[in-house]
């Protein structure tokens, strides 16, 4: 807004978009991104940099898969053998899911939440297993989707009294450092040199809305936010001085675009 008010920017148009749901996969704002991505030439997002100040050039894709395991409840004392323990069956499935780690270098599978059971004297008839997946590219996505589908089918055993349902999927494709990203990186580096800043780049396992925007054909740099670390923990921090540093870089980038992108 300050740039629009006080600087002469005849060659570019700026839109500032604030969304509330990026951390949970942008379920509500994704439709907006899909509608407007074609109207822009590039995007700049304000995710935090890496702890050392490096900007992110590529990101893993991510998604959540949900397994619902159903068995049969029974009294744990009088009718134990008539029950079908969904938690026991689901934990066996969870071990097989965890063993997918290491089978493909850029794929990780995190069993993040398990819910099931109630009273301890009842054989539990339901268990819900939530799994977070990280992928390096489209081939990884196809591989993990296939493996998880196969596991769901192999543990779906109605003849033994167990059913398994799989839902969810990849909600942010991998963001690769393609040629358009390379061009945008070079542009930001040149803007940084004009204010005596130097830029370094790293890859990240975390996803952002930048993943979705690239998939929609909109090249972007998505780490113009402050420097910090320990994300998603009680120890999360930012370097306050980096707020000014990144504000300067953002202004320099926009001013350079105004002088001829």
pLDDT digits (tens, 9 = 90+) for 82-116: 999 999 999 999 999 999 999 999 999 999 999 99
Q: Does the pLDDT at position 118 exceed 70?
A: yes
Q: Going by C-beta distance under 8 Å and a sequence separation of 6 or more, which residues neighbour residue 244?
A: none
User: What are the extents of the domains in the chain?
Assistant: 2-59+175-258, 61-172
Task: Quickly list DSSP for 198-219.
Answer: ---EEEES---HHHHHHHTT--
Mean pLDDT of the chain: 94
**44 contacts: CB under 8 Å, gap ≥ 6:** 220, 221, 222, 224, 250, 253
Distance in angstroms (rounded) separating the CA atoms of residues 70 and 90: 9
Check residue 24 and give its pLDDT.
86
User: What pTM did the predictor assign?
Assistant: 0.86
**What interhelical angle do 241-258 and 179-193 show, nearest 10?**
110
**Average pLDDT of span 155-171:** 98
What burial letters (b/e) apply to 175-208, b meaning 16+ CB within 10 Å? Answer: bbeeeebeebbebbbebbeeeebebebebbeebb
Q: Is the pLDDT of residue 245 over 90?
A: yes
Inter-residue contact 65 to 166 (CB < 8 Å): yes
Contacts with 55 (C-beta within 8 Å, 6 or more apart), sequence order: 49, 188, 199, 200, 201, 202, 221, 223, 224
Q: Tell whether the model's pLDDT for residue 171 goes beyond 60.
A: yes
Give per-residue pLDDT as tens, 13-30: 888 999 999 988 899 999
Confidence of residue 5 (pLDDT cuts 50, 70, 90): low
Identify which has the larger pLDDT, 253 or 3.
253
> Quick one: pLDDT at residue 32?
95
Tokens of 204: 């990240």
Q: Tell which phi-psi region holds residue 192, choosing left (phi > 0), alpha (psi between -120 and 50) or beta.
A: alpha
Instruction: Give the model confidence (pLDDT) of 26-70 as tens digits.
Output: 999 999 999 999 999 999 999 999 999 999 999 999 999 999 999
CATH 3.30.365.10 fits 61-172, yes or no: no
Arithmetic mean of pLDDT, 190-196: 96
Q: Which residues lie closer than 8 Å to 14 by C-beta, 6 or more apart? A: 3, 4, 254
* Tokens matching residue 147: 């493996």
Fold category of 2-59+175-258 in CATH: Aminopeptidase (3.40.630)
Q: How far apart are CA 123 and CA 71, in angstroms?
A: 9
């Amino acid at each position: 807004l300050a740039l629009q008010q006080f600087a002469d920017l005849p060659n570019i148009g700026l839109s500032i978009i604030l969304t509330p749901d990026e951390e949970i996969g942008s379920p509500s704002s994704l439709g907006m991104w899909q509608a407007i991505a074609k109207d822009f030439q590039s995007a700049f997002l304000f995710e935090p940099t890496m702890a050392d100040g490096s900007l992110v050039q590529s990101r893993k894709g991510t998604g959540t898969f949900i397994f619902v395991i159903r068995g049969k409840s029974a009294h744990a004392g009088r009718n134990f053998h008539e029950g079908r323990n969904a938690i026991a069956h689901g934990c066996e499935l969870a071990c097989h899911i965890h063993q997918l780690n290491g089978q493909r270098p850029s794929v990780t599978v995190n069993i993040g939440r398990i819910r099931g059971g109630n009273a301890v004297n009842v054989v539990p008839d339901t268990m819900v297993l939530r799994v977070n997946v990280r992928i390096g590219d489209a081939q990884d996505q196809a591989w993990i989707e296939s493996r998880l589908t196969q596991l769901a089918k192999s543990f779906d055993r109605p003849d033994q009294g167990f059913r398994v349902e799989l839902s969810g999927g990849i909600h942010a494709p991998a963001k690769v450092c393609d040629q358009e990203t390379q061009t945008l990186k070079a542009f930001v580096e040149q803007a940084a040199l004009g204010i005596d800043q130097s830029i370094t780049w790293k890859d990240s396992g975390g996803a952002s809305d930048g993943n979705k925007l690239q998939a929609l054909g909109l090249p972007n740099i998505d780490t113009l936010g402050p420097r910090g670390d320990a994300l998603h923990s009680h120890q999360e921090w930012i370097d306050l001085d980096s707020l000014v540093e990144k504000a300067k870089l953002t202004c320099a980038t926009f001013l350079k675009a105004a002088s001829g992108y």
